[in-house]
Amino acid sequence: LSQKIALLVHHEALAMRDKAEVFLYATRLEDDDNTEATEEITKLWTEAMQLADQRDQTQQSSMNQEPQATDWEAELAILAQLWTQHHSHLSLLQAFLVLHHVLYGILVPLINNTKDNQYAPAAAGYAEALALSPYCNQDHEDMNTTCLGQSLALALQFYQQAEDVNGIRRIQELQAQHTQPSSSSEPEL
């Protein structure tokens, strides 16, 4: 069920409130004994989603005027803290949600709207982490439309913008691994 939810999140634009609810649902699925970490994770995610919701509401009420970089940066700081300090306590679904939201909900729009390459290294790292996450990596039949293919393409683009030769090489190797033809033969019709 969690994998299906992750694919739905990737392919459908969910409202911030819906993402927040899915994350809290994933929290309840976990049997984590670390209650303190779970409470901190929930607090940070909720704060970030509230900021995202405020940003979206402000954008809608101001005739779709693009948000300022600072509107995303506070949210990014909270989710970066959540990821850095608590990624080992996240469920697979929660990890997917954090990575997906940071990449597609914050960094891609931030880079597109500011045209500032200072965010490219972070975007590349989050895109690579998302591509390697189990819920993104499991679906690689069509490289151009899957979470894996899109994340690898973004990672490559952002590593190129950041001029990170090692990152570029790593992503190209991952792309080559996932685009190699399978050894099984197609059935004849």
What digits encode the pLDDT tens for the residues 34-46? 567 788 888 898 8
Is 188 a residue whose pLDDT tops 50?
Answer: no
pLDDT, position 92: 84
Is 84 a residue whose pLDDT tops 90?
Answer: yes
Question: Rg of the Cα trace of the chain?
Answer: 17
pLDDT, position 40: 87
Is 83 a residue whose pLDDT tops 50?
Answer: yes
125 vs 27, more confident = 125
Residue with tokens 């033969």: 185
User: Which residues have CB under 8 Å from 32's CB, separation 6+?
Assistant: 38, 89
pTM for this predicted structure: 0.79
Alpha carbons 170 and 43: distance in angstroms, whole number: 34
User: Which residues have CB under 8 Å from 170's CB, separation 6+?
Assistant: 128
Alpha carbons 111 and 116: distance in angstroms, whole number: 6
Alpha carbons 123 and 47: distance in angstroms, whole number: 21
pLDDT, position 28: 60
Alpha-carbon dihedral sign for residues 163, 112, 55, 98: negative
- Whether the CB-CB separation of 26 and 97 falls below 8 Å is answered with yes
Is 154 a residue whose pLDDT tops 60?
Answer: yes
Torsion angle of C-alpha atoms 46, 51, 52, 57, degrees rounded to 10:
120
Alpha carbons 46 and 44: distance in angstroms, whole number: 5
Give the count of beta carbons closer than 10 Å to the beta carbon of residue 163: 11
Count of H-run helices and E-run strands, the chain:
10, 0
Alpha carbons 25 and 13: distance in angstroms, whole number: 18
